[in-house]
Amino acid sequence: MIHPTAAIDKEAILGKNVDIGAYSVIEKEARLGDGVVISPYVHIRGNTEIGSNTSISTGAIIGGNAQMLGLKENNGRIRIGENNVIREYVTVNASSSPEKETLLGDHNFLMAFSHIAHDCRLGNNIVICNGTLVAGHVEIQDKAFISGNVVIHQFVRIGRLAMIGGLSRVNQDVPPFMMVVGDSTVWSINLVGLKRSGFTNEEILTIKKAFKTLYASKSTVKGALDKLKEIDSKYVKEIINFVSDSKRGVSGPKRSTFIEKLFLDYPYFIWSRIETYGLIKSEVVPAIKIFSINNKKEGGYGEDLDRG
């Protein structure tokens, strides 16, 4: 199960049924659990522990030095849980000191070219899409979904079951169950994620009420939290605790300029609620037929249009 061209240090610890591809490098003090699959050209640095049944694809570098000025040696640590999928050319950096750890939980999916910096803490069942960059000391909680080419500022926290839209820039905390699009802007709740996780309609309505209180009212953050405390829900309490513990502040509501509303928000709002097939069937097709008939009567180009 180990390719003859793989370079494995004698002090590396390998579990049962480990598969290591061609030209991969496993350094001293690395620990690979049972059933770990390492594709060709992967580099596993020292002080790295990888849980069982985790697969790491071609070109990934796990446990590299923290990208910090003045750091001369790699003495950090990294611990990865079980059943993770780490795709091509992903980089996960070790912690900034041996007293700390970069942590990844279980059942996470890190897509190609994503980057996890030093001292990050990721929970379980997280999806991070292609090209996303996660800076140092970021915390991402369970079942969060981070879309492609997102950049997350250091020390930011992403709450449980939050969703970050593609190309977003996140520089403040994102409360649980919320959806961010753009520049740290909370647009709505993560409705799809909540449904997929088995939340009932009543629970979703309660979370939606919390969203409106926090983001769609004119209350201050403190005033909104006081109102939320009146709601008897463990999910609302989770939001309250998350916001109360924030040190960077939480991502804000959507406040657009008139131009943004006219050309971005309103068109997005309208088209996101129109069933395209229904529109074509009920409006566009009859309009074309009427246009064709009228032009035929007037001797216009309706005949050619009708043939098309």
Which value, to the nearest 10 degrees, does the dihedral of the CA atoms of residues 258, 260, 261, 263 take?
Answer: 120
Q: What is the pLDDT of residue 295?
A: 52
Catalytic residue numbers read 118-119, 136
Which pTM was predicted?
0.84
Q: Is the pLDDT of residue 161 over 80?
A: yes
Q: How far is CA 161 from CA 66, 75, 236, 239, 241, in A?
A: 28, 33, 13, 11, 15
Q: What pLDDT, on a 0 to 100 scale, did the predictor assign at position 308? A: 36
> Helix 234-244 crosses helix 201-215 at what angle (to 10 degrees)?
30
**Would the pLDDT of 203 be above 70?**
yes
Task: Write the pLDDT tens digit of every residue in 32-64.
Answer: 999 999 999 999 999 999 999 999 999 999 999
Q: Are 61 and 76 in contact (CB under 8 A)?
A: no
Closest CA to 2 of 49, 37, 27: 37
Q: Kindly indicate the confidence band of residue 268, based on its pLDDT and cuts at 50, 70 and 90.
A: low
Using the predicted structure, report yes or no on whether residue 257 has a pLDDT greater than 90: no
pLDDT at site 241: 98
DSSP state of 94: P
pLDDT for the residue numbered 259: 65
Q: Decide if pLDDT at 269 tops 80.
A: no
Count of Cβ atoms closer than 10 Å to residue 301 Cβ = 11
Q: How deeply is 10 buried, as exposed, middle or buried, from its count of CB atoms within 10 A (0-12, 13-18, 19+)?
A: exposed
Tell me the chain's radius of gyration from C-alpha atoms: 25
> 7-196: what fold?
UDP N-Acetylglucosamine Acyltransferase; domain 1 (2.160.10)
| Residue that is written with structure tokens 């709450």 in the block | 159
Mode of pairing for the β-strands spanning 91-93 and 61-64: parallel
Q: Cα separation of 217 and 116, whole Å?
A: 35
What the block records as the tokens of 12 is 């590396």
pLDDT digit string, tens, across residues 97-118: 999 999 999 999 999 999 999 9
* Residue 296 banded pLDDT, cuts 50, 70, 90: low
pLDDT above 90: percentage of residues in the chain:
78
Residue of higher predicted confidence among 265 and 123? 123
Average pLDDT over residues 127-150: 98
Residue 275, token pair as written in the block: 């069933």
How far are the Cα atoms of 80, 202, 288, 295 from residue 242, in angstroms, in the given order?
A: 25, 22, 54, 64
Residue 73, pLDDT score: 76
Predicted confidence band of residue 71 (pLDDT cuts 50, 70, 90)? confident
- At residue 265, does pLDDT exceed 80? no
Assess whether pLDDT exceeds 80 at residue 12: yes
Produce one character per residue of 233-248: b if its CB has 16 or more CB atoms within 10 Å, e if not.
Answer: bebbebbbebbeebee
Q: At what angle do helices 234-244 and 221-228 cross, to 10 degrees?
A: 150
Domain boundaries, the chain: 7-196, 259-307
Span 202-221, average pLDDT: 94
For the segment 183-205, the average pLDDT, to the nearest whole number, is 96
| Average pLDDT of span 10-29 | 97
Query: Residue 186 corresponds to which tokens in the numbers above?
Result: 């909370």
Supply 303's token pair: 């005949």
Mean pLDDT of all residues belonging to the chain: 89
Mean pLDDT over 163-191 rounds to 96
Contact 126, 109 (CB under 8 A): yes
What's residue 303's pLDDT? 41
Euclidean distance between CA atoms 189 and 298, whole angstroms: 53
Check residue 273 and give its pLDDT: 60
Comparing 165 with 277, which gets the higher pLDDT? 165
> Which pLDDT does position 307 carry in this prediction?
37
Please report which confidence band the pLDDT of residue 305 belongs to, taking 50, 70 and 90 as the band edges: very low
Does the structure show a pLDDT above 70 at 270?
no
